[in-house]
Amino acid sequence: MKMSKLFSRTLREAPAGAESKGYEYLLRAGFITQLGAGIFTALPLGYRSIKKIEQIIREEMDGIGGQEILMPVVNPADIWKETGRYFSIDKELSRFKDRVGRDMVLAMTHEEAVTDAARQQMDSYKRLPSLVYQIQTKWRDDPRPRAGLIRVREFTMKDSYSFDRDWEGLEKQYQAHYDAYFRIFSRCGLSVTAVGSDSGMMGGKIAHEYMYLSPIGEDTIITCPECGMTANRQVAKFRKELFPEETLLDPETVETPGAATIAGLAEFLSIPTRKTAKAIFMMGTFTDPAGIPEERLIAAVIRGDLDVEEAKLQNSARANSLRPAHEEEIRAAGMEPGYGSPIGAAEGTIVIVDDSAAGSSNLVAGANKPGYHILNTNFERDYSGTVADIASANAGYACHTCGAPLKMSRGIEVGNIFQLGTRYSETLGCLFQDEDGTRKPVVMGSYGIGVGRLLACLAEEYHDESGLKLPASVAPFSVHLISLVKESELPDQLYADLVKAGIDVLLDDRKDSPGVKFNDADLIGIPVRVVVGNRALKQNAVEVKLRSGSENADTAAELVPIDSLTARIAEILVNMQKTS
């Protein structure tokens, strides 16, 4: 590719709204351009990097027995209604009608579509196990797109699906993906951590996420430096400090003016926050038997020194989604914002009680009256509900496994794997005939990698003050050939020789100044730079630099004889591959 013909252009300044350096450099280097909120066009440089990532993924998926397919992004809504996700997923799932009025959806994932295909193919145990994958466009109408390709609405994903006779077979395919994912990310040059995660809307038994640790990440990762326990905060457990049982005292309503917060209440009564019961009110969306969504009030109760983890609460309540309850909704159920508790709550209120509150005695709770609380409240005697772990883990809490203090970091999810089990096969009738003649549901797994998000994370990891420094395995080109000479055919000849040797080259043949060319080379960040300049040509040589080296140091440049250039570049690229 010659830069004089390149469709994209570089930018000198960071565009408005570039929230991270990686995003800024992808825009400035001409890898991507924005079409709308969470919608991006991959320009030639960016698309070449994406294709290289996809090729790595294909090789590893093929290596564990995957067969590539391609499913439609537009799905008939009927199969989504069969699984219930048409009703349970909120506005992130885009629904529409075709010209004859049939309900359709834009697929945000393809469990329904692949199960529909499998139920037409997997008729016998002889056809199992099986593994298919695709690299396909997805649409998720995310309400908060951010940081460029980190959080988008339209994206490209590798999603694979395994089919087995039993759970033992699923475990093998799950482990194969678990290992293959580490190879994929390693070949791309990204260090990731696998963490236990919430299966969320996917359903299923076990799930892991692959996290790139970054301060701009939206996920909170909880780790134990002693035993190695690692989990997303959404599911992380910890040892809750338990206190001695007390004799149950009689409840007593007391006036607590201005004590509408746990901190204020504890200060007013001169008690520790652990002696209080905190109530959090959410509205959960559920699907009734007719498939119609309905909202119900959820009252979550937790000990005052802890916080509620929303994902745990949603799972415990079996809600499709949650939102904070409005004050009028809380009052309509007989409870008072700031002074609320489930004591005397209206019928139909869903009460979820953290085991920390359920196992504590004589806690102070809201009296559902402004300015008043009740002393000595106790679970089961004064109110009832479902007991669950809905507490949010934090740094310093005791590890659930070994008791050591936990640590906390931020991360970006770049991949996930799920053991779906029979969640979809039973619902959609994907059955096979076993050896004994019985019909059984296929046992399934689902596995995803966000291709664009992976590129975005690489840009966050590999850049300096001048621009990108992508690894050779994913850089759009291996060599950036810069011509500083006029009226010479040599740059074109070197370009042709390198291309003939199978080396992908970007030739800067523009008539711009050396400063502009070097700045653009730094910005785009191709691993190997070859400079054809008059000074080196006097020695019948060209300069070769590595983008990862010290660009301003004279020692960073290597003079290579012109007739040895192709061999030397090939050697450099082989060494890069060995060390990646």
Ramachandran class of 19: left when φ > 0, alpha when ψ lies in -120 to 50, beta otherwise: alpha
Domain layout of the chain by residue ranges: 19-199+415-459, 252-388, 477-579
One-character DSSP codes across 386-425? EEE--BPP-TTSEETTT-PBPEEEEEEEEEEEEEEETHHH
At the top level of CATH, the class of 19-199+415-459 is alpha beta
Encode pLDDT of 93-133 as tens digits: 999 999 999 999 999 999 999 999 999 998 999 999 999 99
What tokens does 395 get? 């740094």
Residue 200, pLDDT score: 57
For domain 477-579, the CATH superfamily is Anticodon-binding domain (3.40.50.800)
Residue 205, pLDDT score: 67
Rounded to 10 deg, the angle between the 167-188 and 44-63 helix axes is: 140
Contacting residues for 365 by C-beta, under 8 A, at least 6 apart = 276, 277, 279, 301, 341, 343, 373, 374, 377, 382
Residue 531, pLDDT score: 95
Residue 168 has, within 13 A of its CA and on its CB side, a CA count of 0
pTM exceeding the 0.75 threshold for the entire prediction: yes
At the top level of CATH, the class of 252-388 is alpha beta
Give me the residues of the chain with pLDDT under 70, please: 198-205, 549-555, 580
Ramachandran class of 203: left when φ > 0, alpha when ψ lies in -120 to 50, beta otherwise: left
Encode pLDDT of 385-425 as tens digits: 999 999 999 999 999 999 999 999 999 999 999 999 999 99
